[in-house]
């Protein structure tokens, strides 16, 4: 689905709308740039319940156009769920429509209200595993020595802190035991299609002509004894695989070969194979090789390098040896660490937010929605 599309759903069934919300979340059908308009006719308690209990309706860019009064006093209202307000999450009427007065917007609210420009001090749970330089954990003892405090570092955590400060929320780190535990939360699960039959023989054995003839003969006999295949095409294919698996000669090796299943035997067989492969007699004429002109040997290439600074000159300019330098907007250090890179990015984030605070956030002539959009499009 396009990221900037407007999706309109018309239904009076609460069951259908709840199912739509669940499958949209499971299938990742909507992103924040998509706008979902639900046209329905429900009572206010039913409407509040739907908007509050489903992620697709409460957290995504969704509004409900509800028919509240039929003709002749036709009246429709637009409702949206605001997850973060000074008084907590609530369902708010954002607009009203009547044939006489057309659309009447609520005060300081757009038809698709901004939901995440200000979290009003809410607590946002995050989780992660130590993976430097992006995420680190440092356990420190308290001054009394009776308890321990876990402090977090790394570029990802510092970025979260900067976003939390700009959007007015608090980070609460939920500990996780392993990466597998994280995958249960963030990786969508897909149902695996079961395999009908697993073949118990290797098709490489069919390269032997004698083995191939024996296998074909045995397979023909098995098919004749079993009779014709019945059922749907999938059932026939499954039955044929079963016949192939049960063929007597499928589990035997070609003449002159034995199956090796123990580890030592497999290693010995590979040694024998590569010994024969690498020790084949050469068919190259030595006299032809001697006629190829030889380059003189450069003895200086065998001299080990010294500890002096290398002298590299480009267009007559000698390059200086430095401890760090910029490459593709990243700081590369001589010791391979990312300390300078992390410090540089934190400084850039602080400078950008500082300039934005003076020029945008503190200006009263800019609406709160535009300020939130400016924070969204910051690129360091």
**Domains in the chain and their CATH numbers?**
6-105 (3.40.50.2300), 122-186 (no CATH), 203-251 (no CATH), 324-376 (no CATH)
What is the end-to-end Cα distance of the chain in Å, rounded? 29
Render 212-247 in DSSP notation, one character per residue: HHHHHHHHHHHHHHH----SSHHHHHHHHHHHHHH-
Task: Find the helix or strand (DSSP H, E) in which 7 lies.
Answer: strand 6-10
Tokens standing for residue 297: 């040997």
**Residue-wise pLDDT tens for the chain (380 aa)?**
555 688 889 998 888 898 888 888 887 777 778 888 899 999 888 888 898 889 888 888 899 999 888 888 888 888 988 888 888 888 888 888 888 777 777 666 678 888 888 888 888 888 888 888 888 888 877 666 667 778 888 888 888 889 888 888 888 888 777 766 666 555 444 444 444 444 445 555 666 676 777 777 777 777 777 777 777 767 777 777 777 776 644 445 545 555 566 778 888 888 888 888 788 777 778 888 888 888 888 777 777 666 565 677 788 787 788 888 888 878 888 888 888 888 888 888 888 777 777 777 777 777 777 777 766 655 44
Render 237-286 in DSSP notation, one character per residue: HHHHHHHHHH-GGGGSPPTT-----SHHHHHHHHHHHHHHHHTPPP---H
């Amino acid at each position: 689905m396009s990221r900037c599309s407007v999706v309109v759903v018309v239904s009076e069934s609460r069951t259908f709308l709840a199912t739509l919300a669940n499958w949209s979340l499971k299938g990742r059908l909507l992103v924040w740039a998509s706008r979902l308009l639900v046209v329905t006719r429900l009572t206010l308690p039913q409407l509040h319940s739907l908007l509050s209990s489903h992620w697709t309706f409460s957290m995504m860019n969704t509004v409900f156009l509800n028919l509240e009064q039929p003709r002749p006093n036709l009246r429709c209202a637009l409702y949206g769920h605001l997850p973060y307000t000074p008084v907590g999450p609530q369902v708010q009427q954002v607009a009203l429509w009547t044939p006489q007065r057309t659309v009447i917007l609520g005060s300081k609210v757009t038809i698709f209200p901004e939901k995440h420009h200000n979290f009003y001090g809410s607590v946002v749970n995050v989780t992660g595993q130590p993976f430097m330089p992006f995420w680190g954990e440092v356990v420190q003892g308290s001054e009394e020595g009776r308890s321990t405090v876990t402090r977090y570092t790394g570029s990802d955590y510092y970025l979260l802190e900067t976003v939390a400060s700009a959007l007015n929320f608090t980070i609460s780190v939920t500990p996780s035991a392993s990466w597998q535990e994280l995958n249960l939360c963030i990786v969508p699960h897909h149902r695996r299609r079961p395999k009908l039959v697993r073949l118990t023989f290797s098709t490489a054995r069919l390269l032997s002509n004698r083995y191939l003839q024996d296998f074909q003969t045995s397979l023909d006999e098995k098919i004749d004894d079993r009779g014709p295949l019945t059922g749907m095409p999938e059932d026939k294919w499954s039955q044929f695989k079963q016949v192939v698996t049960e063929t007597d000669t499928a589990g035997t090796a070609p003449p002159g070969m034995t199956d090796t299943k123990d580890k030592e035997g497999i290693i010995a067989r590979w040694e024998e194979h590569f010994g024969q492969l690498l020790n084949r007699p050469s068919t190259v004429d030595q006299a032809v090789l001697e006629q190829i002109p030889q380059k003189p040997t450069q003895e200086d290439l065998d001299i080990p390098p010294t500890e002096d600074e290398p002298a590299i000159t480009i267009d007559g300019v000698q390059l200086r040896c430095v401890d760090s330098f910029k490459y593709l907007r990243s700081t590369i250090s001589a010791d391979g660490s990312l300390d300078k890179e992390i410090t540089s990015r934190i400084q850039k984030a602080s400078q950008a937010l500082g300039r934005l605070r003076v020029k945008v956030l503190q200006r009263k002539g800019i609406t709160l929605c535009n300020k939130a959009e400016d924070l969204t499009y910051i690129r360091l």
